[in-house]
Amino acid sequence: MARRPRTRPLVLAALALLVAALVGAFMYREDLIQTVNAQALVDAGLDGRLACHRVNRPAKLDALLRLGLRSFEVDLLVRDKGAEVYFEVGHDAKDARGLTFDELLERTRSSDVKKIWLDVKNLNDDNIDAALRELERLDTAFDLKEIVIVETSAQSAALARLSLAGFHTSYYLPTGRIKKLLADADTAGMRSEAARIAEQTRQQQIAAVSFDSALYPFVKQHLEPTIDARVVYHTWYSIQLWRWGAVERLRDKPYFGDERMRTILYSCKTTGG
């Protein structure tokens, strides 16, 4: 009896090649769109006010710099290695891979960086003095003080030490709590939370508050009337740079035209994270 041709493996292989080709074409399309949007962002003079979110990998930073962009956000963890305190890059313990902030900064030496947003995840009373010494050391090595935002969710008045040292400090507003107040339309609760934050800004002598863009209505309606007019804003969750017309769509966001909104983080896709 003649053996039937084994067509199924050939069909599966052909389908796999087709899927791979489609994925590759889709990724190429997104890369192309992102390149176009990056140029539009630079041409509009928005690099610096806009910055790429979560640049926690060297490859992602390198790709961003190749696009001509010079502003980014990075997550940091304060680490204690014996008598040495340093910053490790990472959103949390799972994300951290041993990369120091020094090593990341070394990759920017040949670039005129405009802004670096430092989201320091574990700043507290126990490590704030050591963290300040490390920030001062990094400022001496990389001239950071004029371009960094030091963001923390810490509520301690000790944060004023960073502000008094000349660093631009920002308080990370409690996202979940305020989103619930907004969802519940809890006006009394929002007023109370705004009063608490306002008092904290005074104690910490902070320069800014930073928040999920969904909290903008709370900031404008309840917080802004209670805080010093010199306190500015930084936000995230705005646009995806790999979508057509992303920069144009950003102009329609209610917070884009706000003079107090100094930094807007966007999402970007690059090799390495």
pLDDT over 90 for what percent of the chain? 85
Question: Please, are residues 214 and 237 in contact by the beta-carbon 8 Å criterion?
Answer: yes
SS3 call for 37:
helix
pLDDT at 24: 47
User: Considering the domain boundaries, does residue 3 fall inside one?
Assistant: no
Question: For residues 176 and 29, which has the higher predicted lDDT (pLDDT)?
Answer: 176
> What is the average per-residue pLDDT within 144-163?
96
User: Considering the domain boundaries, does residue 1 fall inside one?
Assistant: no
Mean pLDDT of the chain: 92
Kindly state the tokens that stand for 170. Answer: 């920002």
* Residue type (1 letter), 189: G
pLDDT for 14 beyond 60? no
User: Considering the domain boundaries, does residue 5 fall inside one?
Assistant: no
pLDDT at 21: 47
Kindly state the tokens that stand for 151. Answer: 């963001």
- Minimum mean pLDDT range among 17-26, 113-122, 243-252: 17-26
Alpha helices in 44-183 (DSSP H): 58-66, 101-106, 128-142, 160-164, 175-183
Half-sphere exposure of 91 (CA within 13 A, CB side): 9
Where residue 87 sits, what CATH number does that domain have? 3.20.20.190
Three state DSSP letters for 227-257: CCCCCEEEEECCCECCCCCHHHHHCCCCCCC
> What is the average per-residue pLDDT within 167-179?
98
User: Considering the domain boundaries, does residue 70 fall inside one?
Assistant: yes
Rounded to 10 degrees, the C-alpha dihedral 223/227/231/236 comes to -10
pLDDT at 5: 58
Question: Please, are residues 209 and 233 in contact by the beta-carbon 8 Å criterion?
Answer: yes
Its domain, for residue 98, covers: 10-266
pLDDT at 12: 57
| Number of domains within the chain | 1
User: Considering the domain boundaries, does residue 120 fall inside one?
Assistant: yes
pTM: 0.89
User: Considering the domain boundaries, does residue 272 fall inside one?
Assistant: no
- Of 120, 121, 115, 135, nearest to 72 by C-alpha is 115
User: Considering the domain boundaries, does residue 139 fall inside one?
Assistant: yes
> What is the average per-residue pLDDT within 177-190?
98
Question: Which sign does the torsion angle of CA 74, 77, 78, 84 carry?
Answer: negative
